[in-house]
Structure formats: structure tokens, C-alpha cells
Amino acid sequence: MGIETLTWDVDVISITCTVRIMNKHALPRLRLVIYLRVSTKGQVDTYGFPSQLKDCKTWNKPHNHRIVEVLREEAESGATDEEDRPELARALDMIANGDADGILFPNLDRLARELTIQEAALSVVWAHGGRAFGADQGEILPDDDSDPMRTFVRQVMGAAAQLERGLIKNRLRKGRAAKGAADGYAYGAPRYGFKAEKKALVEVPDETAGEARAKELRAQVDENGKQTSYREICRILKEENFKTKRGGEWRPSTIAKMLDPEYRAKANERDARARQAKRDDAVMRKAAKARSRFSDKDAGEK
């Protein structure tokens, strides 16, 4: 309409301006809560809080909705989407209680990674008369029986995004495994004596000196043929101002991991089992919540 408008007479231009003003006032100024989410262990795409907030504010600038709250969620990496989401629950409560008219988020992926959780959150918003907006696509309209394609397209896009994230994670996992098999280091905190630099391990002189001193002490034996205890090594290293990797206190278990490969391997296996148990527990809690929702629904129908 831009070029054609220049050819119209003054009366038409006046009418056009009047219509635009009326449309602007016809759109309600909503109270929105901005919801942002990252993982505490970092985002693969480095899309952090500042960038997310900037995108939300950029989208809102021409709409001029009132931002009543900005909520930042630091979700624990590895947890399921339903866990550790107090800020999302708070945002939904604000809408349910009438303290906000809707929610604004950078994109659906930041609302929730899993399609089922996205749909559950949106259903809560819509059930209380709220509105949902993504900075990347505008308003996400509620389901409409007369337009089933609306629901289909939204869910297919969400499923496709979830599949893409799964494929990316799988490639990263395989790449790390291959790199670890090649040179012994792929990711994570390097052991004492080393640091990660440009995706490779390099020695830390102060730490290698501390490790050498610990080995020297462990090799010493008393008149009864006993080696220096790990606890005694801790005392001597502290006394000689050797620092731990994180600057904390020396502990016997730290010395054991440093000097005893078998102990270190067992400790790593134990940590891996603990992480897996945590993931299994999260899955079971999620299943219990889903079962509870179905049970409540069945009870209501009866």
C-alpha cells in the first residue's frame, strides 16, 4: 500500500490515518509477563537471558503492551521439563489470578523443550482467558474446532523442533565419545594437573607440582612399612601452600582420586550411576504426574 498511498488525494490520506488510529485504540494494551529460560550448565546455542530479553522487548515495542514482570528460569541441565520450573509456574499463576493478561517468551522452545509440556502450559494460559506470544512468531492462537489445521501446524512444528534438538544432542554425544576415545578428553572438568584450552588438555604447572609432591609423600614409608596416609598428605600439602583445583580444602578422597587410578575409575562409575539414578527418578516422577492427571480426569468424568 506504500507507493499507491502517495498517489491518493488529501481526503483519502486523512481517512487512512483515521482508520489506523482507530485500529490502534481497538487493540487492548495487555499486561504481559515475560518468561525466559536457560540451562544452568549453558545453552548449546548460547541464547542467554540478555539476548532473549532483547528479542522480547523488540517484539513488544510496536505493540506497547505493559510488561508487569520478567521471570528468569535457570532450569537444571538434564532434568525433565516439568521439574524445577518455579518461574513458569509463577507466570501461569499470575495469569490464573488475573495479575497478567498473557505471557511473552522468545520462542516455544524456551517455554518448554518438550511438545507435551508446551501444550500443557499453553492450555493453562488459554483456560484462564490469557494470551500467549512468541517473540519470533507473534500470538499463538488457541485451538479452534473450526480450524483444526491451526492445532496441527503448531504441534507438528513443535515436534519437528524437538526432533532437531534430539538429533543435535545425539551428534554431540557421539562426537564427544569419539574425541574421548582418541585423546582421552572430550568435555567436562579436567582432573587435577590439567586445564582445558582450545578443546585440548594442557598442564597447569602449580597443579602438576602439587601432584608430584603428593606422589612423593605417598611413596614414603615409616619404620613399620606403612605409606603416608591420604589424610597426612592433605595436611602437608596445605602446610606447603599447594592449592586444590577449586581453592577449597584438601580431602583424602581428592588425594585418592589423584594418585590411585583404580579408586578414580570406581569413583567415576559411582558418579555415573548416581546421575543415571537421578534421570530414572525424574522419568518416574514425570510418569506419576501424568498418571495423576489422567486419574483426576477420570474421576471428574465419573
Q: Which residue has the higher pLDDT, 89 or 291?
A: 89
Task: Tell me: do 171 and 131 sit in the same domain.
Answer: no
Whether 299 maps to a domain, the answer reads: no
- Whether 230 shows a pLDDT value over 90: the answer reads yes
| CA–CA separation, 160 and 107 (whole Å) | 14
Task: Tell me: do 118 and 37 sit in the same domain.
Answer: yes
Task: Tell me: do 34 and 132 sit in the same domain.
Answer: yes
Give pLDDT, residue 71: 96
Whether 302 maps to a domain, the answer reads: no
Give pLDDT, residue 23: 43
Task: Tell me: do 136 and 155 sit in the same domain.
Answer: no
| CA–CA separation, 73 and 158 (whole Å) | 20
| CA–CA separation, 126 and 138 (whole Å) | 15
DSSP string, 117-177: HHHHHHHHHHHTT-EEEETTTEEEPPP-TT-HHHHHHHHHHHHHHHHHHHHHHHHHHHHHH
Kindly state the percentage of the chain with pLDDT values over 90. Answer: 37
CATH label of the domain that carries residue 62? 3.40.50.1390
Phi, psi of 111 (to 5 degrees): -65, -45
Whether 116 maps to a domain, the answer reads: yes
Phi, psi of 178 (to 5 degrees): -65, -40
Task: Tell me: do 111 and 168 sit in the same domain.
Answer: no
Task: Tell me: do 251 and 165 sit in the same domain.
Answer: no
Task: Tell me: do 169 and 125 sit in the same domain.
Answer: no
Q: Which residue has the higher pLDDT, 187 or 301?
A: 187
| CA–CA separation, 213 and 228 (whole Å) | 12
Whether 301 maps to a domain, the answer reads: no
Whether 230 maps to a domain, the answer reads: yes
pTM exceeds cut of 0.75:
no
| CA–CA separation, 253 and 105 (whole Å) | 45
Task: Tell me: do 179 and 207 sit in the same domain.
Answer: no
Task: Tell me: do 48 and 83 sit in the same domain.
Answer: yes
- Closest by CA to 250, choosing from 268, 230, 267, is 230
80-100 pLDDT per residue, tens: 455 568 899 999 999 999 999
24-77 pLDDT per residue, tens: 444 578 999 999 998 755 444 578 899 999 999 999 999 999 999 999 998 765
Give pLDDT, residue 5: 41
Q: Across the chain, how many H-helices and E-strands are there?
A: 11, 7
Mean pLDDT of all residues belonging to the chain: 80
- Whether 21 shows a pLDDT value over 70: the answer reads no
Task: Tell me: do 42 and 124 sit in the same domain.
Answer: yes
Whether 298 maps to a domain, the answer reads: no
201-227 mean pLDDT: 89
C-alpha distances in Å from residue 161, one per residue of 13, 103, 158, 246, 264: 44, 21, 5, 38, 39
The domain in which residue 174 lies consists of 143-187
Whether 111 maps to a domain, the answer reads: yes
Task: Tell me: do 25 and 112 sit in the same domain.
Answer: yes
- Whether 2 shows a pLDDT value over 50: the answer reads no
Number of structural domains in the chain: 3
> Considering 165, 187, 209, which residue would you say is the last residue of a domain?
187
